[in-house]
A and B are shown apart, each in its own frame.
Chain A
Amino acid sequence: MRSLKEYQTVTNISGPLMMVEMVDEAKYAHIVDIELADGSIRHGQILQVERDKALVQVFEGTSGIDVERATVRFLGRPLELGVSRDLLGRVFSGLGAPKDDGPAIIPDKRLDINGRPINPFARDYPNEFIQTGISTIDGLNPLVRGQKLPIFSGAGLPHDKITAQLARQAAVLGKEEEFAVVFAAMGITFEAAQFFIDDLQQTGAIERAVMFVNLANDPAIERIATPRFALTAAEYLAFDLDMHVLVILNDMTNYCEALREISAARKEVPGRRGYPGYLYTDLATVYERAGRIKGKTGSITMVPVLTMPEDDKTHPVPDLTGYITEGQIILSRSLHRKAIAPPVDVLPSLSRLKDKGIGEGKTREDHADLYNQLYAAYAHGKEAQELATIMGEAALSDEDRKYMAFADRFEVRYIGQDYYENRTVEQTLDLGWELLSMFENVELKRIDVKLIEKYMPRFRSKKEPQVDEQNTADAGTAEGTE
């Protein structure tokens, strides 16, 4: 190994950035170690080099760095993660250092955490249905292997419970394969992280998990590296060790804030709400690492979680995420208030890869028509609900009233389920038919007549009234129209 040069030429510190001068071998995006006067080490990455000046972002922050006495070592390599099968079951810091009391990892190889883009021609199309046991996902927004499907949440909404449920239940139908969960925590609370870890521990899934944890009180700039560590581990597990990996990135809003901080310190022209203009591209280099590759067994399925500031979907973080991911699961505060859990806001949620993963031979032939119909009916019902709040129920037509009753029932029975309830996809589909049985065939415009004839009778013949408490009156009229 060549000897590393040391420099004591830090000239300038501003925010998380540091300028080192009279350097003669700085390379773009390589990393440095910074030794402080007290002997402690910090880590940095070169953001820009011009002649003999290197601009360095310091992951742990610059507070306490003494311009006079800091020593900078240029390591001559990008940020790397040493990988081996022993990553499984381990907990690391946001910068990839072991954080549990386990031994150091003896790596098979060291990988640049930035990875390399998957050649689009090498991709294999995600089309294997993952049963999550959650009706709003399996029935309406099916997740497939290799997909990136974020959860758009808001402060105080139960996204942690949903991700834990996903980690617990997600399985591909009829397959016993090696799977793993990679969890990257970025700026979340100790409590939230611990909840997730405990949950995995209870089910034993912890053995198959790798965690990279940067908590709310950990250095903010470190968060820029955390998802990249996680994805490097995931790529190794998926494409070298043939595992099916579920990656959960929580919370991407905190990640973006760290990027914003760097951008501001560099005095870059800010984009919307102060986020840098390259936020889209940067997020893409994270999210696009999900996928399947031709000729390889493993896959990376990604569920990024983000909190929408003020529940605003047009905020740059959810907006740009939505532009990259393959759909989104949006949580609804109003359902949460109604104590309907998991509070998935069905109408604006969408899985874009659903069509390839469902249907005959995958889930069931009626799946696509069924979700189209459920959507349409629920949308109609929600519209009626809105109308009713503005003008009073009296203003509604009989038809509107019927759809409103449907929407209420749908929320309680279909959307609502227990966090430990693992519904099979058949149960979810049948539940859909049962709820639709209050409509006449003509009204089910989106379902093929043959499918209605095949699946509906079972639920129509069940004549014992399928009524839930709050909708007794409405349900009566609905059935009466038949």
Chain B
Amino acid sequence: MSETSKGKIVKVAGPVVVAEGMTGSRMYDVVRVGELKLIGEIVELKGDTASIQVYEETTGIGPGGPVADTEAPLSVELGPGLIESIYDGIQRPLDDLVEAEGSFMSRGSSMPGLSREKKWHFKPTVRQGAEVGPGDIIGQVDETTLVKHKIMIPPVIAGKLKSIKKGDFTVEDTVAVVEDGNGREHQIRLMQRWPVRNARQTQKRLAPNTVLVTGQRVIDAFFPIAKGGTACVPGPFGTGKTVVQHQLAKWVDADIVVYVGCGERGNEMTDVLTEFPKLKDPRSGEPLMKRSILIANTSNMPVAAREASVYTGITIAEYFRDMGYSVALMADSTSRWAEAMREISTRLEEMPAEEGYPAYLAARIASFYERAGRVQCLGNPQREGTLSIIGAVSPPGGDLSDSVVQATLHVVKVFWSLRGRLAYQRHFPAIDWLTSYSFYKQYLKDCFEDTEQGEEMERFTVEAMGLLEQEAELLEIVRLVGAEALSPKDRLALETTRSIREDFLHQNAFHKVDTYTSMTKQYELLKTVLHFHKEGLAAVDAGVDTAQIFKLAIREEIARAKYISESEMDKISEIRERITEQTKQLAGSAVS
């Protein structure tokens, strides 16, 4: 990167530095600030005066210090080596930084996002002489056991493939040369760069049409997210936003997972780093880390880099989507990102809108989520990629009228509302089944190979949700006039909803078996809970006292069914048989 030294600092206010003499600089150019060469980005230009958000602590910076312009916008490096990486908000590799500088972050380090030494084995998939254009896949690198990294022609380049070679290359080596219509040659390398604030191009946007299976029962069965869809998880502190995000990062049925820890805890990133290599992808049996990329700009790291971190993450995610993969991005927490925007905006002395947030807050949030979607990727061969975004939101006091929550709800299609009350009861995931929603519910049935099963599942979820709604009313009655006022059928309904809540919706993320439930097992479990309800109703009709139904030994088995492993699923249908047996027996003795 060339650096032209020209500007002079005139003001320092926390993460914002103002410099004069910046003629010719462009918005969003990356600059190096002060003698320490802190990394910053121009966020406002007025004449030759530039306001710069600095991605590092500005202690010790003062008027008169130099500012150098790199004359390039904030970009990420895209190529082999991304998978299994952990980056800060501006794609500096945190693992390499520890090695180079120790356990604490120092300032002014510039370390490339992709290793310059490491060699990758490149296998061409097109021949010399072929006509290629933007986005065309010309070969691949087996980056990890889970990820075949497709090498694509960068946007804007098109022409004839003059040469292409197989072999071991670093990301900077030329692997192919394209000659364009004007006879100009373009070197194609394993790595390309992309400015993070611009969405990567696609051929065409398509509507999401399949469910992204997460293995989390309340989500998949009741509030599913689609491949290419958007979801948000708002909730007060400690209600399980991060656990939901981690669970999804672990179990989601995606090819690539990008996890952005944006202004949250350092230990949560460590948790991911220590756990993912040990966990196996339920589909391939490979360690989950082999499809994951982490961006960690924790709450104590500089605020401006936090602002950038979500863009770094989404750009990397788009790049893998462009290869035709299904990518899931988790951002925890988008509120911290919004707060970073607010802080920069305050220092820029912009006119604040609600709660001090800048007026462009909603627009920024919307355009971030707009980068999700199912797309027809650019280039040949024809392929479809999806990028799903799941954003956590941390509203002050858990108040959903918060600006960030509201702006997010305007754009996302799935809402998982976490409730403090449920979390105190240790009902996890604390997703409120009465207020959450999903616009992708209709695709649930297609998750099943067996269409009949799919349709049945759809009916089950409708029935279960109906009961849960009824529960709220019944509990109100109990509160007002006492449990005596309930009819036997209502009592049974209350027991069933308790069972739906405790035996189906409740899911312990830290339990070996319970942490992930396949669609088929979800079907089996829900069917079992509802089977008890059906048989219970029949018994009530036969004159059986509800107390006796509730005492049936089978109930303990229902409660423990979720701990039955995936490989022993027939044990769940056996439970159903015993439900029938035991209730029939009761009914029989009631008649006699």
Q: Are A294 and B265 in contact (CB under 8 A)?
A: no
Q: 8 Å CB contacts to A: which residues of B390-442?
A: 394, 396-399, 420, 424-426
A114 close to chain B: CB less than 8 A: yes
Partner of A78, one of B59, B399, B502, B510: B59
Whole-angstrom CA separation of A38 from B420 in the bound complex = 56
Q: Are A120 and B299 in contact (CB under 8 A)?
A: no
Q: Which 5 A-B pairs have the closest CB atoms?
A: A284-B299, A314-B397, A27-B62, A288-B300, A122-B103
Over the window 311-338 of chain A, the binary record of Cβ atoms lying under 8 Å from chain B Cβ atoms (1 yes, 0 no) is 0001010011011101110000000000
B3 close to chain A: CB less than 8 A: no
Name the distance in Å between A149's Cβ and chain B's nearest Cβ.
12
New contact pairs (18) apart from A27-B62, A120-B298, A121-B94, CB-CB < 8 Å: A28-B13, A29-B60, A48-B14, A114-B57, A117-B104, A120-B270, A122-B98, A123-B266, A123-B267, A269-B356, A271-B356, A278-B343, A284-B299, A319-B236, A379-B426, A390-B479, A395-B482, A441-B556
Whole-angstrom CA separation of A279 from B292 in the bound complex = 32
Q: 8 Å CB contacts to B: which residues of A372-389?
A: 372, 375-376, 379, 387
B133 close to chain A: CB less than 8 A: no
Q: 8 Å CB contacts to A: which residues of B321-363?
A: 336, 339-340, 342-343, 346, 352, 355-356
Q: Which residue of A lies closest to B355 (CB)?
A: A271
Question: Which residues of chain B have C-beta atoms less than 8 A from A379's C-beta?
Answer: 424-426
B296 close to chain A: CB less than 8 A: yes
Question: Which residues of chain B have C-beta atoms less than 8 A from A314's C-beta?
Answer: 236, 396-399
Q: Are B238 and A114 in contact (CB under 8 A)?
A: no
B72 close to chain A: CB less than 8 A: no
Q: Are B63 and A50 in contact (CB under 8 A)?
A: yes
Can you list 28 A-B contacts (CB < 8 A)?
A27-B62, A28-B13, A30-B62, A48-B12, A49-B12, A50-B63, A117-B300, A117-B301, A119-B101, A120-B298, A121-B94, A121-B95, A121-B97, A122-B102, A122-B104, A270-B356, A272-B355, A281-B303, A284-B299, A284-B300, A291-B267, A314-B399, A322-B236, A355-B510, A379-B426, A390-B479, A391-B479, A391-B482
Q: Please, how many residues of chain A have a CB less than 8 angstroms from a CB on the other chain?
A: 78
B293 close to chain A: CB less than 8 A: no
Name the distance in Å between A446's Cβ and chain B's nearest Cβ.
9
Question: Which residues of chain B have C-beta atoms less than 8 A from A445's C-beta?
Answer: 502, 556, 559-560
Question: Which residues of chain B have C-beta atoms less than 8 A from A278's C-beta?
Answer: 14, 303, 339, 343, 346
Whole-angstrom CA separation of A270 from B236 in the bound complex = 21
Q: Are B300 and A285 in contact (CB under 8 A)?
A: yes
B interface residue count range (under 10 / 10 to 19 / 20 to 34 / 35 or more): 35 or more
A112 close to chain B: CB less than 8 A: yes
Q: 8 Å CB contacts to A: which residues of B132-161?
A: none
Whole-angstrom CA separation of A289 from B267 in the bound complex = 11
Question: Which residues of chain B have C-beta atoms less than 8 A from A473's C-beta?
Answer: none
Over the window 99-125 of chain A, the binary record of Cβ atoms lying under 8 Å from chain B Cβ atoms (1 yes, 0 no) is 000000000000010111111111111
Q: Are B12 and A281 in contact (CB under 8 A)?
A: no
Whole-angstrom CA separation of A438 from B298 in the bound complex = 46
Question: Which residues of chain A have C-beta atoms less than 8 A from B261's C-beta?
Answer: 120
B86 close to chain A: CB less than 8 A: yes
Whole-angstrom CA separation of A291 from B60 in the bound complex = 27
A256 close to chain B: CB less than 8 A: no
Q: Are A27 and B60 in contact (CB under 8 A)?
A: yes
Question: Which residues of chain B have C-beta atoms less than 8 A from A30's C-beta?
Answer: 59-60, 62
Q: Which residue of A lies closest to B300 (CB)?
A: A288
Q: Are B63 and A26 in contact (CB under 8 A)?
A: yes
Whole-angstrom CA separation of A281 from B304 in the bound complex = 11
Q: Which residue of A lies closest to B425 (CB)?
A: A379
Q: Are B95 and A319 in contact (CB under 8 A)?
A: no
Q: Are A126 and B267 in contact (CB under 8 A)?
A: yes
Question: Which residues of chain B have C-beta atoms less than 8 A from A26's C-beta?
Answer: 62-63
Q: Are A288 and B298 in contact (CB under 8 A)?
A: yes
Q: Are A78 and B60 in contact (CB under 8 A)?
A: yes
Whole-angstrom CA separation of A395 from B486 in the bound complex = 13
Name the distance in Å between B79's Cβ and chain A's nearest Cβ.
21
Q: Are A49 and B60 in contact (CB under 8 A)?
A: no
Q: Are A25 and B62 in contact (CB under 8 A)?
A: yes
Q: Are A28 and B59 in contact (CB under 8 A)?
A: yes
Known: A48-B12, A51-B10, A397-B483. A118 touches B266 (CB 8 A): yes
B273 close to chain A: CB less than 8 A: yes
A348 close to chain B: CB less than 8 A: yes
Q: Are B352 and A269 in contact (CB under 8 A)?
A: yes
Over the window 360-382 of chain B, the binary record of Cβ atoms lying under 8 Å from chain A Cβ atoms (1 yes, 0 no) is 00000000000000000000000
Q: Which residue of A lies closest to B65 (CB)?
A: A27
Question: Which residues of chain B have C-beta atoms less than 8 A from A117's C-beta?
Answer: 104-105, 266, 298, 300-301
Known: A119-B104, A319-B397, A445-B556. A125 touches B299 (CB 8 A): no
Question: Which residues of chain A have C-beta atoms less than 8 A from B95's C-beta?
Answer: 121
Name the distance in Å between B516's Cβ and chain A's nearest Cβ.
17
Name the distance in Å between A253's Cβ and chain B's nearest Cβ.
16
Q: Are A120 and B94 in contact (CB under 8 A)?
A: yes
A350 close to chain B: CB less than 8 A: yes
Whole-angstrom CA separation of A215 from B101 in the bound complex = 38
Name the distance in Å between A40's Cβ and chain B's nearest Cβ.
27
Q: Are A316 and B60 in contact (CB under 8 A)?
A: no
Q: Are B94 and A119 in contact (CB under 8 A)?
A: yes
Name the distance in Å between B2's Cβ and chain A's nearest Cβ.
28
Known: A27-B60, A52-B63, A120-B86. A322 touches B300 (CB 8 A): no
Known: A291-B267, A328-B238, A442-B556. A121 touches B11 (CB 8 A): no
B117 close to chain A: CB less than 8 A: no
Q: Are B556 and A28 in contact (CB under 8 A)?
A: no
A352 close to chain B: CB less than 8 A: yes
Name the distance in Å between A45's Cβ and chain B's nearest Cβ.
10
Over the window 500-535 of chain B, the binary record of Cβ atoms lying under 8 Å from chain A Cβ atoms (1 yes, 0 no) is 001000000010000000000000000000000000
Partner of A28, one of B60, B343, B399: B60
Q: Are B270 and A125 in contact (CB under 8 A)?
A: yes
Whole-angstrom CA separation of A395 from B510 in the bound complex = 37
Question: Which residues of chain B have C-beta atoms less than 8 A from A390's C-beta?
Answer: 479
Q: 8 Å CB contacts to A: which residues of B217-247?
A: 236-238
Known: A120-B261, A280-B336, A355-B510. A50 touches B424 (CB 8 A): no
Whole-angstrom CA separation of A119 from B58 in the bound complex = 18
Whole-angstrom CA separation of A116 from B302 in the bound complex = 10
Partner of A121, one of B265, B273, B343: B273
Q: Which residue of A lies closest to B61 (CB)?
A: A28
Question: Which residues of chain A have C-beta atoms less than 8 A from B502's C-beta?
Answer: 445
Q: Are B298 and A51 in contact (CB under 8 A)?
A: no
Q: Are B60 and A120 in contact (CB under 8 A)?
A: no
Question: Which residues of chain A have C-beta atoms less than 8 A from B352's C-beta?
Answer: 269
Q: Are B339 and A29 in contact (CB under 8 A)?
A: no
Could you say which of A117, A285, A322, A353 has the most chain B C-beta atoms within 10 Å of its C-beta?
A117
Q: Are B98 and A121 in contact (CB under 8 A)?
A: yes
B269 close to chain A: CB less than 8 A: yes
Q: Are A48 and B13 in contact (CB under 8 A)?
A: yes
Q: 8 Å CB contacts to A: which residues of B186-214?
A: none
Partner of B339, one of A277, A288, A324, A391: A277
Q: Which residue of B lies closest to A387 (CB)?
A: B479
A42 close to chain B: CB less than 8 A: no
Q: Are A293 and B103 in contact (CB under 8 A)?
A: yes
Name the distance in Å between B335's Cβ and chain A's nearest Cβ.
9
Q: Are A288 and B59 in contact (CB under 8 A)?
A: no
Q: Which residue of A lies closest to B241 (CB)?
A: A323
Q: 8 Å CB contacts to A: which residues of B92-117?
A: 94-95, 97-98, 101-106
Whole-angstrom CA separation of A391 from B484 in the bound complex = 13
Whole-angstrom CA separation of A180 from B408 in the bound complex = 46
Q: Which residue of A lies closest to B357 (CB)?
A: A277
Known: A48-B11, A121-B95, A121-B97. A319 touches B61 (CB 8 A): no
Name the distance in Å between B268's Cβ and chain A's nearest Cβ.
9
Q: Are A51 and B267 in contact (CB under 8 A)?
A: no
Over the window 51-67 of chain B, the binary record of Cβ atoms lying under 8 Å from chain A Cβ atoms (1 yes, 0 no) is 00000011111111000
A86 close to chain B: CB less than 8 A: no
Known: A121-B98, A277-B346, A288-B266. A324 touches B556 (CB 8 A): no
